Every structure is written in C-alpha cells, then in structure tokens.
A and B are shown apart, each in its own frame.
Chain A
C-alpha cells in the first residue's frame, strides 16, 4: 500500500540553525501539505502546495519557512533560523485532489527538537 514517508524521524538542532525536513508523498498525488503539532496541542496547518506553488498558508508560515519540490518525488520544508518554539512534530501529507480530495494521507512525522 502506498504511503507518505518522512525523514529524519527525529531532528535535533541548535537555535538559529537551518533545518530541512524531507517528505516523499504518494507518487500519483498532486497536492502536498505540511502540518505541525506542538506537544500536547492540536495539529496545525502550515501550508499547502500544488502545481509547484503555495496554494494556501497559515499565519504560522512566516518568512522563516519555505517549501520546495526539488524533483518529482521529494517535498521539503525548510526552517531558516530555528527558534525554541519551533520544537514540534512536523507532518507531511498528500492527496490526489480528485474524488478523494478531502482524504489527505499523512506521513509518520519528524520530531524537531530545538535546543
């Protein structure tokens, strides 16, 4: 069964450093998303991406964040200068945008710890 994969599973970084979180969406999917979940809080939408551009972003997704689809399979989230409050689980998701438009498939997440 196809699935969304994310690497690394856990990333530890120093405050102020740049991190790149990697995702491989399901191969025939066209819509890609990033979410985050701070410990004990709800899952929050960050950004959606379609046709090589951002289609929607939340107020959390400020200038320190960027997304990229560098090739036909990867979808990355870059945080330029990490802050302590960026520590969270980051989930990538994808959907095919067709009849199952609302069915987003989530990856297992990357736990980001900023020290």
Chain B
C-alpha cells in the first residue's frame, strides 16, 4: 500500500545546478505535504511543507510545487550545494504522516 511514492531511488546533480525531486500520491484526502531531509545516523529533518490549497511554497533555496490534479509534488533546490547530499523523504498527512521511500540525492563537485 504505497500512498506516497518516490519513484527515483537516487539522483545525481552537479553543484550549482537545480535538483528536482518528485513525489506522487494516491489519497486525495491528504491536506498537507511535507519534505524531510535525512543524513546517515540522524533523524529526519523537516524542510518545507505545503497545504493542499496552495500550489507553491518557497523558502530560500527550496521550493515545493503541488499539482493536485496530477496528484504530484516536487521539491526544487536551487542552487544545489554539497551539503544537500542526503536522503529526501516526501510525506503526506491526513490523520497521520505517511512517508515515501526516499530519494538519495548526490551533489557532484
């Protein structure tokens, strides 16, 4: 039962370029979507969220886009930096938070 899907297990991006991480969901009742970042041996760290009534939220280098008709959201990181190398989890909330499997982002020097 994969209500939140991240179809790319890994992504490599050149430093300074844009990183785009994608996420699809199946449950139209989700009211919030979130992105978390995780380094090895640490817990997930909240990055950015978006309400289901919006289509874009921006915070510094991070922007999340929501396309409700396509049940798709994406996280854009511009410009990508070496410290952005981590696993990124897409998550969605109805009464609880449901995580995707994550995408490992490698920022190449």
Within 8 A of A (CB), among B58-109: 89, 93, 95-102
Out of A45, A48, A102, name the residue touching B49 (CB < 8 Å).
A102
Whether A103 contacts B44 by the Cβ 8 Å rule is: no
Given A41-B101, A43-B99, A45-B96, CB of A103 within 8 Å of CB of B43: no
Residues of A within 8 A of B95 (CB): 56
Check if B89 sits within 8 Å of A43, measured CB to CB: yes
Closest B residue by C-beta to A4: B43
Given A102-B34, A106-B44, A108-B42, A48:B102 Cβ within 8 A:
no
The residue among B95, B96, B102 with the most chain A CB atoms within 10 A of its own CB is B96
Decide if the interface of chain B is mainly helix, strand, loop or mixed: strand
For B, the interface residue count at a CB cutoff of 8 angstroms equals: 20
Q: How far apart are the CA atoms of A76 and B62 in the complex, in Å? A: 34
Q: Which of B41, B44, B89, B93 has the most CB of A within 10 A?
A: B44
Known: A43-B89, A45-B96, A56-B95. A105 touches B101 (CB 8 A): no
Q: Which residue of B lies closest to A57 (CB)?
A: B96
With the chains together, A41 CA to B89 CA distance in Å?
12
Taking A42-B89, A43-B99, A102-B32 as given, write out 7 further A-B residue pairs in contact, using a Cβ cutoff of 8 Å, ordered by the A residue number.
A42-B99, A43-B44, A45-B99, A104-B46, A106-B36, A108-B41, A109-B43
A-B contact pairs, 22 of them (CB 8 A): A35-B99, A41-B101, A42-B101, A42-B102, A43-B99, A45-B96, A45-B97, A45-B98, A58-B96, A93-B43, A102-B32, A102-B34, A102-B49, A103-B49, A104-B46, A104-B97, A106-B36, A106-B43, A106-B44, A106-B46, A107-B43, A109-B43
Residues of B whose CB lies within 8 Å of any CB of A are: 32, 34, 36, 41-46, 49, 89, 93, 95-102
